[in-house]
Structure 1
Amino acid sequence: MKYISTRGGMEPAPYSAILLEGLATDGGLVVPETVPQVSAEQIEAWRSLDYADLATEILSLYATDIPRDDLARMCRAAYSADNFVDEAIVPVSPLAGPDTGISLVGLSEGPTLAFKDMAMQFLGQALEYALEKNDRALNIIGATSGDTGSAAEYALRGKHGIAVFMLSPQGRMSEFQRAQMYSLTDDNIHNIAVAGVFDDCQNLVKALSGDLEFKRAHELGTVNSINLGRISAQMVYYFWAWLRTTDAVAEAERAAFEVSFTVPSGNFGNILSGHLAKAMGLPIRRLVLAANENNVLDEFFRTGVYTPRTAAETHATSSPSMDISKASNLERFVFDLLGRDPERLAAAWRELDETGSIDFSADLPRFEAEFGFQSGTSTHADRVATIRSVFEGSGVLIDPHTADGVKVAREYAEPGVPMLVLETAKPAKFPDIVLEATGERVGMPEHLAGLLELPQHVTEMDDDEAELRDFIATRAVHR
């Protein structure tokens, strides 16, 4: 298996190499040359596997340059009881009452209580492995709207030959999210709070990653969802959730038994993993994108017109990890939409740069018919009402991003088709909105008691590319 760029200017490269690059060398996003196909019989054979072994099977189709024994060891280390609280790693929990037919896919059992741990714990293992094999160092530059940063830092803290430079928007994350990141004291972790919004942080990451001379001089890489290593690891829980949901289905009916997924979406990475799982052959009926008030992607999937918003137009909401108005991973979907043609993609992106918008409405019927995509928007009032109703109907507390997912999932639920909502984070990370919705004060998990009182270490910085370059140049690690 080799990997190419959406923009056509990168020589095919193996998995371990693209892990270290993040962005493709031509500024595009890395995609598989071909998506591996799995049969119904193959998926069925995975039913008895635990999560780590299932991850090994699926990732072995992508990481073909990594010996299987090494890959299995990395998956076992990533998805261990030391890292994840729930024995299943990813519990699938049906809701009750009016939400019967909807289940939560529990992705927040890891060290930072957010779904980003699912991919980042594997990526931490894989990056250290690839660096040792190639005698290299890596300086991770990333942008976070809340959960990516802490998940990356907890997965990479203390790792040999790795430094992390994580950009976050000043004042745009919850108190819990800031405390998780900024309280770390490891020498290889550098938190940078940028004056602006997430998109400003992401633009800085892209600018430095796209400067090949600077990137090579300082051995830069990424762990944002533009890194295909994260996308590939996230595919695993789509297969896992399908297998757990169909455990009770008659064996003769399983092969074609479809489920739908609703995914709270900001940067389009999580739902892109579902898109690839469906392309591999997993029986997915619908991939429903749930947006918050920053609903550029909902508008795109409803109208076919993509019009990213400026930083000034990006709302600060009560589901802050989705406060994104320009989703990097959409390029990978558009690449597929345009027949995997780099020239057509380049033309589309030139139009976007020149006009601020691009019209794919002629392809709109294909969004659902061919790819299964649908979408919806949730507001603060929706989040409050959904958190309250799920608590009253099922006795389950959910975080505001998951509430966005449940609200939109209700709009697309179909009789006889299980609807699986990908959980985003533990409600303890967002106690204010949970209190507003339910009157319940969410306690801090026992193993994180005292987190909010710890000293915080962060460098505040203007939205200034030159200042960021200097900061990284003086602190980067090298072999």
Structure 2
Amino acid sequence: MHYISTRDASRTPVGFADILLGGLAPDGGLYLPAEYPQLDDATLTQWRTLLAEKGYAALAAEVLKLFIDDIPAEDIEAMTARAYTSSKFASEEIVPVTRLEGQLYLGHLSEGPTAAFKDMAMQLLGELFEYELGRRGETMNILGATSGDTGSSAEYAMRGRTGIRVFMLTPAGRMTPFQQAQMFGLDDPNIFNIAVDGVFDDCQDIVKAVSGDAEFKREYRIGAVNSINWARLVAQVVYYVSTWLKITETNDQQISFSVPTGNFGNICAGHVARQMGLPIDRLIVATNENDVLDDFFRTGAYRVRSAADTHKTSSPSMDISRASNFERFIFDLLGRDAGRTAELFGTRVRQGGFSLADDPAFAAAVGRFGFLSSRSTHSDRLETIRDCHERLGVLIDPHTADGIKAARSWAVDVDTPIVCLETALPVKFAETIDAAIGREPAVPERFAGILEADRHVAELPNDVEKVKQFIMESINNTEVR
């Protein structure tokens, strides 16, 4: 299994272990498999039995083996066994699936240590990073940006690990109090929180700028945990497989997914699973008022927005107007034309975006690739949360509400079961839950006292050089185990 950059016309092959630690490709592109592995009936039958008898960790190992051939199989199995355990996840199933109503289901991805779906990939990523760094005798300084949940999931997965520091950028004042407490309450010597005076897209731009400085990246051993890292995305493919296995009875039965997404990472994993041959009918992109992705799937125009035009919403983890992983899908949509992809996501995005409305490839976005989309507003979220709570007895977070609203809006046109992928537990968004149902959600016992913890965070301007300086000084003043 080799990987190629979305911007490399020569298709230079790279191994998994190298892209694991590298994040972005040197040309600024994102890595994808040179070819997607293909599933057959025998494999699906084997996996159905494996999940039932041995559980999620065993299934995860088998899925990962399709994408990784430079790590021994037994080591992959050991890592998934450590990553997906009942000591870290509140459910022994790891990803339970429940029926919400009719043909609509919930895939519960928030059973992990930070109550967010990001734990599904981050717990494995921590194992992979520590393993590969140990194998090479190296250290790494992870640089990431978060709009809410990625940061805490990454920090909880990496805290205390040998050879790793984490520098996580957050948009100052743009996360909920619970999200801030989860991150800023950590006092581990290898964890560094940075609150940037800007929005998430500014934080993401800083990460890309630092990662794009080849000399700085090499000297300070910068790595990535954001969804630009292929290892994180492939870990997410596993829960599409496990959810499909739980819903279906035969190997030719299709289901659809409704996925709240801002950075296009979560649903891009579904795209990969579908390209592998997993029987997925539709992939429904659920956005909030920051509806750049919904605009594209409706009109063919991808128009990025400035920080000033990025709305602060009640589903803040999706307050994103430049979706990093979207490049992976467009690469596939354009028949893997690296030159054109590089033009669109280099020059054209810097100029404000691009349109494929008149391109024959655009029709394939819905046809051959199965995408649909929808947009929600604050009032939609409140109504959906209230309805699910009062009528169905299920309390959901505002991002999941975006997903359920999208699923319902397409239910008449989609004749397969729709699984809405839950993104977080309601406790992370107490203010919005209170507005919807008249009271704040109960705090799970494992998070008791989290809001009272001391805060550990550096406040910095929206300035790449200032962030670089902070990273350099922190590395020079601390040691990793």
TM-score range, shorter chain: over 0.9
Q: Is 2:120 aligned against 1:115?
A: no
Could you tell me how far apart the structure 1 residues matched to 2:11 and 2:164 are? Answer: 25
Could you tell me how far apart the structure 2 residues matched to 1:431 and 1:167 are? Answer: 23
Partner of 2:7: 7
Please show how residues 328-407 of structure 1 align to structure 2 within 5 Å. Answer: 328-353=324-349, 355-361=351-357, 362=359, 363-407=361-405
Superposed displacement of residue 478, structure 1 = 7.3
Partner of 2:461: 462
Superposed displacement of residue 445, structure 1 = 1.1
Please show how residues 55-66 of structure 1 align to structure 2 within 5 Å. Answer: 55-66=60-71
> Aligned with 2:126: secondary structure?
helix
Q: Is the 8 A contact 1:289 1:373 kept in 2?
A: yes
Q: Is 2:51 aligned against 1:51?
A: no
Could you tell me how far apart the structure 2 residues matched to 1:4 and 1:220 are? Answer: 20
> Aligned with 2:19: secondary structure?
helix
Runs of 4+ in 1 over 3 A off after TM superposition: none
Q: Which runs of 5+ in 1 are unaligned?
A: none
Which amino acid is 2:317 matched to? S
Please show how residues 291-310 of structure 1 align to structure 2 within 5 Å. Answer: 291-310=287-306
Partner of 2:174: 172
Q: Which runs of 5+ in 2 are unaligned?
A: none
Structure-2 change in CA distance of 1:417 and 1:65 (3 Å): same
Q: Is 2:73 aligned against 1:68?
A: yes
Could you tell me how far apart the structure 1 residues matched to 2:347 and 2:301 are? Answer: 12
Superposed displacement of residue 441, structure 1 = 2.4
Q: Is the 8 A contact 1:5 1:29 kept in 2?
A: yes
Which amino acid is 1:408 matched to? A
Q: Is the 8 A contact 2:21 2:223 kept in 1?
A: yes
Tell me the TM-score normalised to structure 2 length.
Answer: 0.96
> Aligned with 1:316: secondary structure?
coil
> Aligned with 1:209: secondary structure?
helix
Could you tell me how far apart the structure 2 residues matched to 1:7 and 1:348 are? Answer: 10
Q: Is 2:317 aligned against 1:321?
A: yes
Structure-2 change in CA distance of 1:365 and 1:10 (3 Å): closer
Q: Is 2:26 aligned against 1:21?
A: no
Superposed displacement of residue 266, structure 1 = 0.7
Partner of 1:418: 417
Question: Percent identity, aligned pairs only?
Answer: 53
Identify the match of residue 283 of structure 1 among 273, 279, 285.
Answer: 279
Query: RMSD over aligned Cα, in angstroms?
Result: 1.3
Q: Is the 8 A contact 1:197 1:311 kept in 2?
A: yes
Could you tell me how far apart the structure 2 residues matched to 1:270 and 1:40 are? Answer: 25
Superposed displacement of residue 207, structure 1 = 0.1
Please show how residues 76-87 of structure 1 align to structure 2 within 5 Å. Answer: 76-87=81-92
- Per-residue CA deviations over 1:424-475 (Å, capped at 9, x if unaligned) read 0000111111111112321211111111001000000000111111111122
Which amino acid is 2:446 matched to? H
Superposed displacement of residue 349, structure 1 = 3.0
Q: Is the 8 A contact 1:95 1:104 kept in 2?
A: yes
Please show how residues 142-153 of structure 1 align to structure 2 within 5 Å. Answer: 142-153=144-155
Tell me the TM-score normalised to structure 1 length.
Answer: 0.96
Partner of 1:130: 132
Partner of 2:406: 408
Q: Is the 8 A contact 2:304 2:349 kept in 1?
A: no
Which amino acid is 1:93 matched to? T
How many residue pairs were aligned?
Answer: 470
- Per-residue CA deviations over 1:164-201 (Å, capped at 9, x if unaligned) read 00000000000000000000010000000000000000
Q: Is the 8 A contact 1:377 1:408 kept in 2?
A: yes
